Amino acid sequence: MRAAPSDVSGYVLAGGKSSRMGRDKALLELAGKPLVLRAVEKLGLVCSEVSILGNREELEAYAPLVRDLHEDCGPLGGIEAALVHSTKVWNLFMAVDMPFLPVGFLDAWVRSVIERQQARVALFTVDGRPQPALCLVHKEVASFVNAAVMRREFKLFPVLVGAASQLAGGFGVELNETLLNFPWSGDLAAFDGGRNGWVPTQAQLGASHLWFANLNTPEEFGAAESFAGLLNAD
């Protein structure tokens, strides 16, 4: 793995209430390691620094904690706090419950985005559904996120698209230059990050159906445990 880009901070989104799981999923252990620690370690291989977004003191044992500026705003509130906290140009956000996403895939994607001069927001649409809880956001998006919080508009995807659209207008470019929305249906041949030198292993391919899976319920967590042997395939 090459050195992490110096202008990218990583943030683990861990402020959810885990209502469907029935207990704090950030602290659930998968193959002997809490999900939050797995997320911190993964981002640490891609970003120059890593913090956790949330308000629970027990999470601070794993990385510095960045608390919400405004309560009960969901993931958007965490992103608002992060963009105020960050001193970096780019900020990578990842949900705490994505343990199977390969580090190499993440690193190649980040590098492919920050190479593009007009890019300001990047995310994936997986099998036709936007997945904004994994996103790469430029510092210039901060004011748009804050404005959305002040309006009590907390749906993450529309806010990010709106910010990218307004920035595109200011730059005089098309939306697809400021918003990089990568379609994903498991087709690695279509993955642009491959030109950054990453090729998946057979073990990683074996878990590719779990790369973008969120572990929201005990059933989903139980199913993930059967693939725990692939967690170290990064």
Mean pLDDT of 167-175: 98
Assign domain 8-221 to its CATH superfamily. Answer: Spore Coat Polysaccharide Biosynthesis Protein SpsA; Chain A (3.90.550.10)
39-74 pLDDT, tens digit per residue, is 999 999 999 999 999 999 999 999 999 999 998 999
**Percent of the chain at pLDDT exceeding 70:** 89
Residue 45 to residues 1, 30, 36, 192, Cα–Cα distance (Å) = 8, 19, 15, 20
Q: Which of 47-51, 71-75, 85-89, 175-179 has the lowest mean pLDDT?
A: 71-75
Domain ranges of the chain: 8-221
Q: Please name the residue ranges forming H helices in the chain.
A: 35-44, 74-85, 103-114, 142-150, 156-171, 175-178, 202-206, 218-225
Regarding beta strands 49-53 and 65-66, do their DSSP bridges make them parallel or antiparallel, or are they unpaired?
A: parallel
190-222 pLDDT, tens digit per residue, is 565 445 567 888 877 877 888 888 887 878 878
Between 194 and 184, residue with greater pLDDT: 184
CB 76 within 8 A of CB 147: no
102-127 pLDDT, tens digit per residue, is 999 999 999 999 999 999 999 999 98
